């Protein structure tokens, strides 16, 4: 028997039972046992299906909210990195800042700017910029992005790093994933590429969206055009 105090409390606030999912399941199961095995409770079956649909809707709702928060956080990171990128007043400071503050804000381990040039001997002054600048022969960007495959080139490519890559210098063996952003510096100039490398193999994946990185590359591209003019 139920104690009188508990019984009075349940009668006064029956919502306590209705809002407790586990308790309601137990009551429904007890009711089904009381009806016997030869009775099929269609209402109970319908309720179970509706409950399953509700659970799936709640999971979808949580996933949408999580994706929205993740997208907002990514947008804030990109905006902060762009502001940091626009701070330097000199080209050398601009590139060095790219591999330090901007890389830290974007939470990547390496950033490399690839510039194609037809000149065999690069300007010695480029050596002062460190490893952030990678000077390559014409066609390097397209070949590297394609990775030896005959595939259409996209503005932004997310993937695992190539096993034999040397793009990131001494850090190349530790890079597991990368984001490759092709750059167009205008008519009459060879293309370039902005490469971001991460030691986390899941940091950049082909299934991720590229809109934010494409926006970042667009701002970087226009900034570089001013420096190259």
Kindly state whether residue 102 falls inside one of the protein's structural domains: yes
Output the tens digit of pLDDT for each of the chain's 229 residues.
678 787 788 778 877 777 777 777 777 777 766 666 666 666 666 777 777 787 788 878 787 777 777 777 778 888 999 998 888 888 888 888 888 899 999 999 999 999 888 765 555 555 555 678 888 889 899 999 988 787 778 899 999 998 888 888 888 899 999 999 999 988 888 889 999 999 999 999 998 888 899 999 999 988 888 877 6
Kindly state whether residue 140 falls inside one of the protein's structural domains: yes
- Sheet harboring 133-136: ordered strands across? 133-136, 110-116, 192-198, 177-183, 156-160
pLDDT at 128: 54
**C-alpha–C-alpha distance, residues 119 and 99, integer Å:** 25
Q: Which residue range(s) make up the domain with 212?
A: 89-228
Kindly state whether residue 32 falls inside one of the protein's structural domains: no
**C-alpha–C-alpha distance, residues 114 and 190, integer Å:** 11
Helix (H, G, I), strand (E, B) or coil at 147: coil
Chain segment 167-201, per-residue pLDDT in tens: 888 888 999 999 999 999 888 888 899 999 999 99
Query: Is 163 buried (19+), middle (13-18) or exposed (0-12) by CB count in 10 A?
Result: exposed
In DSSP terms, 110 is beta-bridged to 197
**C-alpha–C-alpha distance, residues 216 and 160, integer Å:** 21
Q: Are 160 and 141 in contact (CB under 8 A)?
A: no
Kindly state whether residue 7 falls inside one of the protein's structural domains: no
Kindly state whether residue 101 falls inside one of the protein's structural domains: yes
Kindly state whether residue 23 falls inside one of the protein's structural domains: no
The total of structural domains in the chain comes to 1
Chain segment 63-80, per-residue pLDDT in tens: 777 777 777 777 888 899
Kindly state whether residue 162 falls inside one of the protein's structural domains: yes
Predicted model pTM: 0.67
Kindly state whether residue 160 falls inside one of the protein's structural domains: yes
**Can you give the CATH number for the domain in which 156 is found?**
3.30.450.40
């Amino acid at each position: 028997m139920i104690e009188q105090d508990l019984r009075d409390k349940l009668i006064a606030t029956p919502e306590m039972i209705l809002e407790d999912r586990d308790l309601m399941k137990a009551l429904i199961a007890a009711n089904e046992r009381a009806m016997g095995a030869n009775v099929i409770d269609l209402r109970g079956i319908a309720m179970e299906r509706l409950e399953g649909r509700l659970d799936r809707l709640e999971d979808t709702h949580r996933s949408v909210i999580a994706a929205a928060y993740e997208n907002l956080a990514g947008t804030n990171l990109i905006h902060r990195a762009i502001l940091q990128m626009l701070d330097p007043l000199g080209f050398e400071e601009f590139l060095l800042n790219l591999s330090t503050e901007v890389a830290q804000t974007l939470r990547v381990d390496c950033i490399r700017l690839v510039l194609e040039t037809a000149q065999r001997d690069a300007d010695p002054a480029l050596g002062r910029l460190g490893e952030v600048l990678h000077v390559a022969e014409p066609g390097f960007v397209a070949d590297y992005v394609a990775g030896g495959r005959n595939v259409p080139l996209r503005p932004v490519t997310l993937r695992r790093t190539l096993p034999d890559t040397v793009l990131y210098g001494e850090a190349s063996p530790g890079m597991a994933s990368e984001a490759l952003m092709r750059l167009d510096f205008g008519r009459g100039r060879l293309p370039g590429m902005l490469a971001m490398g991460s030691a986390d193999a899941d940091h950049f994946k082909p299934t991720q969206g590229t809109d934010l990185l494409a926006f970042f590359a667009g701002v970087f591209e226009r900034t570089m055009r001013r420096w190259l003019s």
